[in-house]
Homo-oligomer: A and B are copies of this chain.
Amino acid sequence: MELRIVIGGEAGQGIQTISTIMSKFFLRSGYYVFTEQSYQSRIRGGHNFTQVRVSTDPILSPDDGIDILVALNGETIDLHKEEVSQNGVIIYDSELINYEDVNRLFFGVPLQRIALENAKTKLAVNSSACGVLVGLLDGDFSILETIMREQFKDPEIGEKNVLTARAGYEIGNGRKDFSFKTPFLTVNNRLLIDGGSAVGFGAIVAGCRFLSAYPMTPGTAVMNYLAGHSKRYNIVVEQAEDEISAINMVLGASFAGVRSMVTTSGGGFALMVEGLSLAGMTETPCVIHVGQRPGPATGLPTRTEQGELLFVINAGHGEFPRYVTAPRDARDAFYKTIKAFNLADKYQIPSIILTDQFLVDSMVTIEDLELNNIKIERYIEYNPIRDYKRHLITESGISPRALPGTEGILVITDSDEHDEEGHITEDLSIRKRLVEKRLKKGELLKGDVEEPIYFGVSDPDVILVGWGSTYGAMKESADRLIKEGFNVGLLHFSDVYPLPYKQLEKYKNKRLICVEGNATGQFALLIKRETGIDIKEKILKYNGRPFTPSEIVKEVKKIW
């Protein structure tokens, strides 16, 4: 079973509320959900929409097509009606939207009147819409009721909204000709999580107790998440005056012993590049979350792209190791965030978590997270060390790390080239040894990166290669192609730098097609630079929207 609901309207009409409530509703009814948001860089007006895709099988991406369109304004109908499937339906406010075209597709409901009658406020229009939806789908109203009561802190308001929803439910349930149904299936332990929260929760579990950031979409989601949980988990979240300050505060906090992070987008990261280099030089661990959006410059602030790969890998003056991971979905984002903190501490380097607006803002159903086996290692010496030298040259290149304030020792570091103790030096032979020490850590780090997932037939004719948030759409497209008889495989990377190359080596003589959300094929360039493998065929998208499986299937068939 699969169902695609799109809710559209102006910014400020409550699209997000409806989609969140409905996503939770499907989760608790035993379905898998994927909820993707398309919104503009404005607070009111314009055209925004959300797709809630529901399935009895796990899903990790939105897809083309609509089975139910909830139109909060007339424009939504104009823009999306062509996408509505044959046996689909368009729900709209029959008293507010004058729509001529009346056929089987249209389902006018006086959404706002229901809200006014039952809750005495237009604001409850979201509840009437949810009610109509649940009714139409023959869902279990009590699940919706519970969610609503949780949602509203004030029980009286909760009651009013439940009333509203029930009225909507009756109307929706009255329309029996609709072919999609989502009755209660089963109780489960799954979670509904968005990428932003996954990174945020991962950071908290990793022990991040300081975050400094300057607001920037889509990075802000992680700041909001940590701030929202700061009291309970003793996290200090400080809004910096600018991104330069954010990264430098984080380096100060990390130097003094607290796991710390910044969160931003490409433009904010651009301002942190000098600080990144400082982290490299002073060997101060730090974690940087970069939520990509289309550039250059301000670009499309609320859209998605994979345009910052080569930038983050090469950012910073001078040479120093770094770890870059591009989580493939929210579950992966949770675990990779923890890994980013662990590797930052292990190698005393910056770790970059490279997500994008699509991953950050999309909600997905995942199986329960396993928290018991998570290892947090700080690699810090809390006891005084004799003749302590912060940048001691060791076999591995990793120096013992102590914290300032430890009795009897001093911790010294410098952004200038320094000696082992950390003092500024002009001794060029020390310079050479310190360069080698720092780079040695990068060699070791290669042992910690995760090889890509391979998925598909065992002897493929074509392998799709991708990275980061494209996983869901690529996996589903590979699935479909295989079902259609195509001899295809998928090689999908989450850790991207240092680039894991063993799987690539294995498949290098196959026909490879790189699928990326940018216009220049950055991952293909990285692969070529690191392995010499030249992926000539590419499927690229750069209009600000994520890939859908249907789209990839179509493109692959085109060039097959």
Contact = CB atoms under 8 A, between A and B. Distances in A.
A315 B314 CA distance: 7
A191 interface: no
Given A270-B277, A532-B528, A316 B311 contact: yes
Looking at A296, A416, A526, A528, which has the most chain B CB atoms within 10 Å of its CB?
Answer: A296
A271 B269 contact: no
Interface in A105-160: none
A311 B267 CA distance: 16
A426 B545 CA distance: 12
Given A299-B318, A318-B266, A544 B431 contact: yes
Given A277-B297, A281-B297, A429 B318 contact: no
Interface string A24-48: 0000000000000000110000100
Interface string A272-313: 011011101110000000000011111111010101101101
Interface in A36-87: 40-41, 46
A307 B438 CA distance: 14
Interface stretch (A173-181, A358-366, A389-397, A517-525): A517-525
Contacts of A526: 529
A241 interface: no
A315 B318 contact: no
A187 interface: no
A307 B300 contact: no
A6 to B, nearest CB: 16
A542 B305 CA distance: 36
B269 A317 contact: yes
Contact of A266 (B267, B317, B415, B534): B317
Interface residues of A, number: 66
Contacts of A267: 274, 277, 317
Contacts of A282: 297
Contacts of A299: 281, 317-318, 415-417
Interface string A431-449: 1100110110000000000
Nearest to A308: B317
A319 interface: yes
Given A300-B426, A436-B519, 19 more contacts: A266-B277, A270-B277, A277-B296, A278-B296, A295-B317, A295-B318, A296-B318, A297-B317, A297-B415, A298-B415, A298-B416, A300-B416, A308-B317, A315-B315, A319-B519, A428-B545, A435-B542, A528-B529, A532-B534
6 contacts: A271-B271, A295-B317, A297-B317, A303-B428, A308-B318, A431-B542
Interface of A: 40-41, 46, 244, 265-267, 269-271, 273-274, 276-278, 280-282, 294-301, 303, 305, 307-308, 310-311, 313-320, 414-417, 426, 428-429, 431-432, 435-436, 438-439, 518-520, 525-526, 528-529, 532, 534, 542-545
For the complex of A and B, list the 9 residue pairs with the smallest distance between their C-beta atoms, beginning with the closest: A295-B318, A266-B317, A296-B318, A529-B529, A281-B297, A270-B274, A297-B415, A314-B314, A281-B296
